[in-house]
Chain A
Amino acid sequence: MRRSVDILVSELALLRREQILPWVLVGLLLAMVFAGISGRMIVNEQRMVAVEASEEARALVDSLKVQAEVGAETSRSPGAVAYSVLSQPVTKAATPLEGLAIGQGDLLPDTYRLTARGAHTFLGRTDPENSLRLLSGNFDVAFIVVWVLPLLAIGFLFDVVAGERERGVLWLAVVAGASAGRFVWHKWWARFLLLAAVTTVAIVLAGLIQQPAWTATAAYILAGWIITSLVYLAFWCALALVVSAGAGSSEAAATRLAGAWLAFVVLIPAVTNLIAGSIVPPPSRVELTATLREATEQADKAIAAERDRWFFDHPDLQGDMDRRAYYLSVARSEAGIEKIMAPLLQEFARNARDQQRVIEVLKYLSPGTLTFRSLTALSGSDGRLHAGFRDAVVVYHRAWQEFFVKRIESDTPLTAEDYERLPIFVAPQIDRRELLVSSLIPLLSMLALTCLLCFVGSRQLRNADVIIGAHSPGVSR
């Protein structure tokens, strides 16, 4: 044990002599810090918008309440308030450390501003964005862990066997009485521990930058982040060892590892996305638009017919339709449109859930996908929390509509007390138990794969060819 520690310390001292190494590690730290700051600013911006909307809505409700108390007509008219005056912002629950992985957070709105009109009027609304920025993706901590960390692992370890073999050091070590496996593993551990230490510090720093409320959930999520990242790092380090041992030269090892990175981090996830889109093709927004248009047209015609009928029934009344009758017709019109649109909107929601299910299976094709899903799940930005939020909004919207439509139908004016009894939205929170269950299996899978690679690497190091090499010097490519 003591000897192992001594060798490890020597290895770390050797690494310290490499000029470029400190810069790379400092670069990693700075990148994580920048990513953390950037993520936090993005999240803060979204939160600010939500807070402003909420405060504004609160102020409006208070003002309407005051007006209702003094008998102002508009504030007492449930139809006017429901369809023309009041819109209610509802916001997705904040997740501690969500700035670490933006994920779908920049695509899916975390605030909806709903009215008593149909759900289609607010569910499809998106913020105006720079589409090139959306295409490029976010430079968040999840990106650094999933895309960049493997490259560092490859850079540190691609020549841990092949390079030592080429330099003749491995052979010398074995001839001197050391076991090749032990010799290499000490080098591996020194590099892995160094990378792991810097990664852990960097994630903790980035986490602190998020300034979360330090609850048990936040601590749990941070721990989850660190463990997931370290297991992912261990996978790449183990893969580097196996490839380095099996390659004829350090160049060949680097090439193969670059290919592995390309496959696991770029190609397989993209192909997985393709497969998911083929198995669960998204419904057509164009069809949704056309259906909405048709539904609106029918509803408008229905309103017009109703109004004609109303004036036919009330020939003595010229000018505007009775307010109650008008808002009743609006309510019926909206109900009619929603009846047509609801199945389509449900199809979109169902499609999103089906895609999530398919992705949950296909993610095991690549450690990159697996880790990305785990990290975004921990940060609540993988789309599942949003799906829950969206479902809750739909339910709340029905309650909101019902609150006003009941009063329109019974022609009951709104009172100050009614404004205090407005339905309140409760956003679904991230569930720690669900997180544990959903992240345990991927973590164990990655760990198992890593252990398998380490086992294969150990077996390879017993092979004499790995130590001596079949490489014949002096022949150019």
Chain B
Amino acid sequence: MIIDIATKEFRQTFRDGRFRLAATLFIMLAAIAFFTASQRYQSLSAERTRAQQEVALQWVEQGEKNPHSAAHYGQYAFRPALPLAFFDSGVQAFEGVSIWLEAHKRNYAAGRPADDMSPLARFGEISIAYILQVLLPLILLLIAYPSFAAERESGTLRQVMASGVTGGQLFLGKFVGLSTSVLLLMLPIIGICFLVLVSTSGATWLAHAVLLSVLYLWFMALLLGLALLVSAVASTARVALLVLLVIWALGNFVVPRIAADMGRLASPTPSADALLRAIENDLAVGIDGETPSAKIEKRRRQLHALYKVSTDAELPINIQGVIFGVQDEISDVVYDRHFSALEAAVDRQLDIFEAASILSPRMAVMLVSQELSGTSIGHQRQFADGAEAFRRELMKTLNRDITLNSRSGDNAYRSSADLWREAGEYRFVPEQLGASIARCGAPLTVLVLWSLLICGLGWGVARRLGTVG
């Protein structure tokens, strides 16, 4: 019975000129998105890989110099274009692509691609994810809104119910039939995405891609359920259409902006100026109630006591290396404090955004999609934290070399490529899938709640389909 209803729905949709037109436009846009996204991904990926290799070579071939000069020369960490970025570019355009790893300083990522984009970039980017999150739902609601409402208006619904079919069977049958139409559009795109992914990165990101497919299929099912629900409850097809269009417009364009603005007002982030000045002040003040010079002096005295000497020159090590280490200890704590505060401010903004996603499941899908595609704020942070961890290790290695391999006052000390190689070069390590999923708790909960709501309401509405009063 359900299959029969589904077959009829599918056949009707397919014969509907609106669906054919919408499907044609959808395919055209998907093709454009595919083409441009793939091109951009390939070009970005090659560029950043090349850049990372270049800076690694520059690091090793920097010649002989004092390790502290090398520390100031530093390295660069470039955020690679992850394979699924072609599917969902996420927040990448608004995040810096490189971090300078230098001595005594933690830099945040610089070189935001959005700064160089046209002013119309704020209208949005036609990525495959955008098409699946915004355009396909519009097509879906345009084919689903008359399902019950138009049949009720014309009297066909009475005839159908009078045939002995239950409301639940009818609801499910329409759901399955319309899903098939939508799947016809989605599955080729998902299939091509898989092919592109495997050809560019093998099986590494396959699990992510599978989860993304599940996510979008879930989203479409949810929206279809919502559209059928509204259609079943609305007095006329016109009302159903208007209500669904309003829900679509609000959920995609209005709620995210309001949520983002409210987050900013509730938890503003500091300006670069304010951040840097606060850091400078704290660096001058020191940590644990000790000024930097006091801390250095204390360490000096400890060393003198340890080695039973009274001057730096008598030490068997180069105290300058130790001093650099103390300075790094202080700066690490200060930068951690301020960067954590900055992250906390952003997190509060994100919390508001996540909370608002209860009004718009598309926002929840967007957050999860970015996580699975590796283009979320979380991934940017993972890149930045990984780069910072490497920087600290790099500085420790260089400071250790100065400390152990030279003597205090020896300004002519030089190290060579052996040390640079030993210190290593920055390599990006993508995070595990589990870590990405762990950040999806709130949006997934929203999707589950929406699903339960729609199932519950759908069950209630389906039961009442066969009654008038």
Contact = CB atoms under 8 A, between A and B. Distances in A.
B419 interface: no
Contacts, number: 230
B346 A130 contact: yes
A35 B224 CA distance: 32
A446 to B, nearest CB: 17
Given A45-B268, A128-B272, A270-B124, A286 B51 contact: yes
Nearest to B245: A258
Contacts of A131: 91, 94-95, 377, 380
Contacts of B156: 476
Nearest to B119: A383
Given A111-B273, A250-B238, A286-B51, A255 B142 contact: yes
A266 B441 CA distance: 30
B265 A477 contact: no
Contacts of B110: 124-126, 285, 289
Given A289-B111, A297-B62, A137 B126 contact: no
A269 B353 CA distance: 25
A290 B117 CA distance: 20
Given A124-B110, A255-B142, A132 B350 contact: yes
A316 B253 CA distance: 72
Contacts of B117: 273, 277, 282, 355
A151 B249 contact: yes
A38 B261 contact: yes
B124 A266 contact: yes
B273 A113 contact: yes
B146 A251 contact: yes
A41 interface: yes
A383 B150 CA distance: 48
Interface string B271-298: 1111101000000000000000000000
A41 B232 CA distance: 44
Interface stretch (A65-73, A101-109, A434-442, A461-469): A101-109
Contacts of B151: 476-477
A83 interface: no
A136 interface: yes
Interface residues of A, number: 88
A267 to B, nearest CB: 7
A254 B120 contact: no
Contacts of A272: 120
A128 B108 contact: yes
Contact of B265 (A41, A356, A369, A373): A41
A262 interface: yes
A477 B16 contact: yes
A148 B258 CA distance: 13
Nearest to A319: B411
A251 B241 contact: yes
A284 to B, nearest CB: 6
B55 A290 contact: yes
Contact of A137 (B113, B257, B271, B349): B257
A369 B124 CA distance: 12
Interface centre among B69, B73, B260 (most CB of A within 10 A): B260
A255 B116 contact: no
B243 to A, nearest CB: 11
Interface in B200-231: none
Contacts of A98: none
A467 B349 CA distance: 53
A357 B260 CA distance: 30
A73 to B, nearest CB: 20
Contacts of B263: 130, 133
A269 B161 CA distance: 46
B12 A273 contact: no
Contact of A289 (B76, B114, B253, B269): B76
Interface in B69-121: 69, 73, 76, 78, 90-91, 93-98, 108, 110-121
A267 B269 contact: no
A1 B262 CA distance: 49
A162 B160 CA distance: 29
A137 B122 contact: yes
A130 B269 contact: yes
Interface of B: 12, 16, 18, 29, 32, 36, 47-48, 51, 54-55, 58, 62, 69, 73, 76, 78, 90-91, 93-98, 108, 110-126, 134-135, 138, 142, 146, 150-151, 154, 156, 237-238, 241-242, 245-246, 249, 253-254, 256-261, 263-265, 268-275, 277, 342, 346, 349-350, 353, 377, 380
Interface of A: 34, 38, 41-42, 45, 49, 52-53, 56, 89, 103-104, 107-109, 111, 113, 124-139, 143, 147-148, 151, 155, 159, 250-251, 254-255, 258, 262, 266-267, 269-274, 276-277, 280, 282-290, 293-294, 296-297, 300, 348, 351-352, 355-356, 358-359, 368-369, 372-373, 376, 382-383, 474-477
Given A289-B78, A293-B58, 10 more contacts: A128-B108, A128-B275, A130-B350, A137-B260, A250-B238, A269-B124, A271-B32, A358-B118, A383-B119, A477-B16
20 contacts: A53-B273, A108-B115, A124-B110, A127-B269, A129-B94, A130-B349, A130-B377, A132-B353, A133-B260, A137-B256, A159-B238, A251-B150, A251-B241, A258-B138, A273-B125, A274-B32, A280-B118, A285-B116, A297-B62, A476-B150
